[in-house]
Amino acid sequence: MKKTLSVQKNEEIEVVFEDLTHDGAGVAKVDGYPLFVKNGLPGEKARIKVIKANKNYGIGRLLELYERSPYRVDIPKEDAPKYGGCQLAHIRYDGQLMYKENQVRQALARIGKIEGARIHPMIGMDNPWHYRNKAQVPVGEKNGKLVAGFFKPRTHEILDADESVIQLPAVNEAVQVVKEICRELGIPAYDEEHHSGVLRHIMVRYGRKTGELMVVLITRTVELPHRKKLVDLVVSRLPQVKSIVHNINPKRTNVILGEKTKVLWGNEVIYDKIGDIKFAISAPSFYQVNPVQTKVLYEKALEYAELTGSETVIDAYCGIGTISLFLAQKARKVFGVEIVPEAIEDAKRNAALNGITNVEFEAGTAETVIPKWYEAGNKADVLVVDPPRKGCDEALLKTILEMKPQKVVYVSCNPATLARDLRFLETGGYRTVEVQPVDMFPHTTHVEVVTKLLFGM
């Protein structure tokens, strides 16, 4: 017998929101049937329209609020472009922290079945605005004019934005200047629908401690029209620029960078500092986007590693060697592995730059290189993982269970895969003892956590 749903499509109903999803939508329940409604906040009473009624859940649109949450923040409509990508900007910052911390607790309990770990309150920012050192702005055309800003949520339409409330002022300015120059020179924007046109993204990176700027122009075509003029104008209007790079991405894809990168002007890298360590950063390498919180995160990772100077440490997913070099100051030896070859080049350069000699870096996947090291007799006392959102490859987790480092420090940008991997490690004899969420991405739904596990406790 077909069960009738509690709600029908196009129906207008009154609901009370109970919770938030991991992407920040309000959750209301009608006879146990969950409805997800963008912009609804827990505790709020609202009238909504059901726009989709699937078998197990529905989607609604907020029509009218009857009761407001004390955590609600109103953003004037004309300011919306500045808040592009800020899915949580309608929630007061202390509410955001509460929500993200709760998400970590729920993932660890429900997915990870983790018990007895100390989950600390999330460390937020004193000033959670204008923190990003990097922008990656999609470029398109509207009514014959080049626009650049962000994708309208769930569409392929690009909305023009003059600034972003989460980017550092120097980054906002650089994006704006480059955009203006591209308009003046008439550089054709990329057209995603027809896979035609030229300029796909403008990317800007900024070393907050050094003031150095990198501008990356990402095109579909091998040719970048008006290249010379463009470089001259960027150099003259952005005195802090140290590197101008052209990246070619000919594919139909939503991955931003292509495989080919050419330096058009200046250096291949820019420099920045975290704590006392200086880093060279090239265009394709990963580098944390929130410099203030990165220091907090790395210091926590270092604290959890509890190094005395005699340990061998492995830093899987090491990027440009940031965590590796932090740890090397307190360890006997650090081995770092990372899939992007350019990042490994940066990591080696960074070790030399800081006179750190007790590190070794290898390009490859963590799941193949670490088992190889283990077979060759390189066993870690402390293993640090900082994987992308999909979490650790199971082959790596299995190697950890064979190698049995005393301590694992797990840095994660996705509580769900973190919880899954912690379960795997717990089943193999580890225990999660400390969990520290750090807000690296205020006003967005992204959540970062650093975790300490001990073997055989």
Q: Which residues are catalytic?
A: 413
Q: Decide: is 159 part of the binding site for ligand SAH (CB under 6 A).
A: no
* Among 272, 386, 421, 448, interactor with ligand SAH by CB under 6 A: 386
Q: How far apart are CA 431 and CA 423, in angstroms?
A: 9
* Among 161, 337, 382, 422, interactor with ligand SAH by CB under 6 A: 337
Q: Among 171-179, 270-278, 333-341, 434-442, which window interacts with ligand SAH (CB under 6 A)?
A: 333-341
CB atoms within 10 A of CB 74: 8
* Among 158, 189, 343, 416, interactor with ligand SAH by CB under 6 A: 343
Q: Among 72-80, 168-176, 286-294, 444-452, which window interacts with ligand SAH (CB under 6 A)?
A: 286-294
Radius of gyration of the chain (CA): 24
Q: Decide: is 440 part of the binding site for ligand SAH (CB under 6 A).
A: no
SS3 140: strand
Mark the binding-site residues for S-adenosyl-L-methionine, compressed into ranges: 288, 317, 338, 386
Mark the binding-site residues, compressed into ranges: 288, 317, 338, 386
Q: Among 35-43, 258-266, 363-371, 441-449, which window interacts with ligand SAH (CB under 6 A)?
A: 363-371
Closest contact distance (angstroms) between CB of 256 and ligand SAH is 13
Cβ–Cβ under 8 Å, residues 314 and 372: no
Q: Decide: is 319 part of the binding site for ligand SAH (CB under 6 A).
A: yes
Q: How far apart are CA 8 and CA 352, in angstroms?
A: 64
Q: Decide: is 290 part of the binding site for ligand SAH (CB under 6 A).
A: no
SS3 79: helix
Closest contact distance (angstroms) between CB of 411 and ligand SAH is 7
Q: Decide: is 339 part of the binding site for ligand SAH (CB under 6 A).
A: yes
Cβ–Cβ under 8 Å, residues 418 and 107: yes
Single-letter code of the amino acid located at 383:
L
DSSP state letter for 175: H
CA distances from 81 to 23, 31, 290 (A): 19, 37, 21
Q: Decide: is 412 part of the binding site for ligand SAH (CB under 6 A).
A: no
Q: Among 125-133, 145-153, 252-260, 365-373, which window interacts with ligand SAH (CB under 6 A)?
A: 365-373
Closest contact distance (angstroms) between CB of 248 and ligand SAH is 19
Q: How far apart are CA 130 and CA 7, in angstroms?
A: 42
Closest CA to 274 of 323, 319, 241, 335: 323
- Residue located via tokens 């082959």: 395
Rank residues 344 and 422 by Cβ distance to ligand SAH and give the closer one: 344
Q: How far apart are CA 249 and CA 244, in angstroms?
A: 16
Closest contact distance (angstroms) between CB of 365 and ligand SAH is 4
CB atoms within 10 A of CB 134: 18
Q: Decide: is 286 part of the binding site for ligand SAH (CB under 6 A).
A: yes
Backbone angles phi, psi at 452, to 5 degrees: -115, 130
Chain residue whose CB lies nearest ligand SAH: 319
SS3 401: helix
Residues binding ligand SAH (CB under 6 A): 286-288, 317-319, 322-323, 337-340, 343, 365-367, 386, 388, 393
